């Protein structure tokens, strides 16, 4: 990547503006740019080339479906149209049968499920870019973190969330992060299921007790001071109302790979307005969703179209104050998930928000306008220009002059080579550009086939209950009950005969001994845990 060359000047002297803050390339250069986006296979239409002061609807700027698992970046200053770009790409993916996941931080993407509203601005934009616009809604499923907000609850167990991500959420330092990893290792090896935060607190308290200290001597131990920091962080975390995110039933991320009955891709919208003031939490939780998909999906290599495209909004929050181990894990997950058929688009204000190792893996770029009001802004602008291939545009001038709904685009072509840089006027979304009514959103959630499966939280026996029971004094043995009230079948009776409490089979299945046996078997199976590169885990079922 290098700085853009100087733009050719017009015969009259100086650079001729193209109406979007950029100098015009020569006609032959404009034709070359247009030819770079003439793909043979299925592709998404982003918009039309801006050249010589006007829009050229015959020069369509597109991105092939086959390269969307090579990831991408949507960047730009606040108010430049990033959200509408997300909406435009998401609805086109859905129309071509590709499932989409996106986070709705501001609460205005629920309109994807409803037809758009025609108007003068939409009509004018469609005419300019040669778009055959008609209002259209798309199949959507709405989710909410832990049920906070309107949506199907998305929960994770503490065990599956893993120590790296939890350390990021709790804002632990490197030493405390390593100690948390030791705690998880102990719980995994002993079959202590960390379902919710009280389970983790119970294990930490046990390992700092006289009985528990001996358990960790062979692997380094856990200092009382570090345990105290972790416990205080957990307490503060719960005080912010975050405990609801951890628990069961744990959400199966394979639900995001579904298509609708008519073959369209399902758009899974994670509603986040209820946790806008917890940015580190929701960005880290999004990383858990991505890491979980990577952990579960098989290798498929390059496909004609991706299995899922995942939009990671407010991406800068994920990388802010992240540890070296955390950044390395993000980089590796993004690198490896491509072969699972998953495409990831990071959405942020500046490319500088994304680490260089991650940015290098992003094949498609949609860069909206940047502002240069301060020396820091000017430095960020110059750095952004250097990340683009050479072009016929003066990109510093272009990126500060393009309007809302316009962007500088370069993507990977069907051969894997980057396309020419194209200043683009983007298409108008066909769905509603704004939120749907609250009543409509709530109805869509209740009518979802996932509502019954995930809506009600479950609190079963896990580490907290097991450790509490082991430290409690033994209860006196129960007196043996008479035969007629013991629940046993009468002598000589058939095994399926009904007694007071039902058949023998029903009574055995419902007995405490049988349940204890199942828990024991489940614990043994639960010890077979594999953790991903990100420390996330799935118990072998």
H or E segment and range at residue 444: helix 438-446
Dist CA 450 CA 500 (whole Å): 37
Phi, psi of 360 (to 5 degrees): -65, -15
Residue 432 belongs to some domain of the structure = yes
CATH, residue 111: 3.40.50.300
pLDDT-derived band at 304 (thresholds 50, 70, 90) equals: very high
Q: Is the pLDDT of residue 538 over 70?
A: no
Region 284-308: mean pLDDT is 89
Q: Is the pLDDT of residue 4 over 50?
A: no
% of the chain surpassing 70 pLDDT: 82
Tens of pLDDT, residues 231-262: 999 998 888 777 888 999 999 999 999 999 99
Q: Is the pLDDT of residue 290 over 90?
A: no
Tens of pLDDT, residues 191-234: 899 999 999 999 999 998 888 888 777 667 788 899 999 999 99
3-class secondary structure, 426: strand
Q: Is the pLDDT of residue 347 over 80?
A: yes
Residue 134 belongs to some domain of the structure = yes
Q: Tell me, what's the pLDDT at 318?
A: 80
Q: Which residue has the higher pLDDT, 368 or 1?
A: 368
Q: What is the number of structural domains in the chain?
A: 1
Residue 222 belongs to some domain of the structure = no
Region 281-294: mean pLDDT is 85
Residue 290 belongs to some domain of the structure = yes
3-class secondary structure, 435: coil
Neighbours of 375 (CB within 10 A): 8
Tens of pLDDT, residues 496-528: 343 444 444 444 444 443 443 344 344 434 444
The whole model's pTM is what? Answer: 0.81
Q: Which residue has the higher pLDDT, 273 or 285?
A: 285
Dist CA 279 CA 459 (whole Å): 27
Tens of pLDDT, residues 22-80: 444 457 888 899 999 999 999 999 999 998 778 999 999 999 999 999 999 999 999 99
Dist CA 241 CA 487 (whole Å): 44
Beta carbons of 145 and 282 less than 8 angstroms apart: yes
Residue 492 belongs to some domain of the structure = no
Region 172-181: mean pLDDT is 91
DSSP 268: E
Domain that holds residue 405: 27-138+265-436
Q: Tell me, what's the pLDDT at 102?
A: 93
Query: What is each CA distance from 174 to 139, 197, 230, in whole angstroms?
Result: 43, 21, 12
* Listed range (123-132, 295-304, 313-322) with the worst mean pLDDT: 313-322
Strand partners, 47: 61, 426
Residue 62 belongs to some domain of the structure = yes
């Amino acid at each position: 990547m290098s700085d853009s060359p100087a733009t050719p000047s017009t015969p009259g002297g100086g650079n001729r503006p193209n109406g979007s803050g950029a100098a015009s390339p020569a006609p032959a250069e404009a034709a070359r740019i247009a030819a770079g986006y003439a793909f043979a296979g299925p592709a998404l239409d982003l918009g039309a080339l801006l050249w010589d002061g006007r829009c050229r609807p015959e020069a369509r700027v597109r991105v092939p479906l086959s390269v969307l698992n090579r990831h991408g970046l949507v960047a730009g200053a606040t108010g430049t149209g990033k959200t509408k770009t997300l909406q435009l790409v998401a609805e086109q993916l859905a129309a071509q049968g590709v499932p989409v996941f996106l986070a709705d931080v501001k609460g205005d993407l629920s309109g994807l499920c409803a037809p758009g509203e025609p108007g003068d601005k939409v009509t004018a934009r469609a005419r300019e870019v040669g778009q055959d616009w008609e209002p259209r809604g798309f199949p959507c499923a709405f989710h909410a973190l832990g049920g906070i907000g309107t949506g199907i609850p998305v929960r994770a167990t503490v065990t599956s969330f893993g120590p790296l991500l939890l350390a990021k959420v709790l804002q632990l330092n490197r030493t405390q992060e390593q100690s948390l990893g030791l705690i998880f290792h102990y719980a995994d090896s002993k079959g202590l299921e960390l379902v919710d935060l009280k389970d983790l607190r119970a294990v930490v308290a046990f390992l700092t007790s006289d009985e528990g200290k001996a358990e960790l001597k062979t692997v380094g131990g856990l200092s009382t001071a570090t345990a105290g920091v972790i416990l205080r962080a957990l307490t503060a975390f719960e005080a912010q109302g975050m405990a609801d995110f951890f628990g069961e039933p744990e959400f199966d991320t394979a639900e995001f790979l579904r298509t609708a009955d008519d073959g369209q891709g399902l758009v899974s919208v994670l509603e986040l307005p209820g946790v806008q003031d917890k940015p580190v939490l929701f960005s880290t939780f999004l990383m858990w969703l991505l890491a979980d998909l990577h952990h579960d999906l098989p290798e498929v290599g390059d496909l004609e179209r991706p299995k899922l495209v995942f939009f990671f909004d407010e991406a800068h929050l994920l990388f802010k104050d992240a540890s070296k181990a955390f950044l390395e894990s993000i980089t590796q997950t993004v690198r490896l998930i491509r072969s699972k058929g998953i495409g990831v688009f990071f959405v942020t204000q500046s490319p500088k928000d994304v680490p260089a190792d991650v940015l290098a893996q992003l094949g498609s770029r949609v860069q909206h306008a940047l502002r240069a009001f301060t020396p820091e802004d000017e430095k960020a602008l110059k750095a952004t220009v250097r990340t683009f291939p050479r072009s016929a545009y003066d990109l510093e001038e272009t990126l500060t002059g393009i309007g809302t709904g316009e962007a500088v685009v370069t993507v990977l072509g069907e051969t894997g080579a980057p396309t020419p840089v194209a200043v683009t006027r983007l298409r108008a979304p066909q769905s509603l550009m704004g939120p749907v009514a609250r009543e409509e959103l709530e109805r869509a959630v209740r009518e979802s086939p996932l509502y019954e499966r995930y809506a009600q939280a479950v609190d079963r026996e896990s580490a907290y209950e097991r450790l509490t029971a082991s430290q409690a004094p033994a209860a006196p043995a129960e007196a043996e009950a008479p035969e007629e009230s013991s629940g046993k079948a009468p002598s000589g009776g058939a095994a399926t005969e009904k007694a007071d409490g039902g058949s023998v089979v029903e009574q055995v299945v419902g007995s405490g001994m049988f349940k204890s046996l199942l828990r024991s078997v489940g614990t043994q199976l639960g010890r077979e845990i594999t953790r991903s590169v990100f420390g996330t885990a799935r118990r072998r079922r």
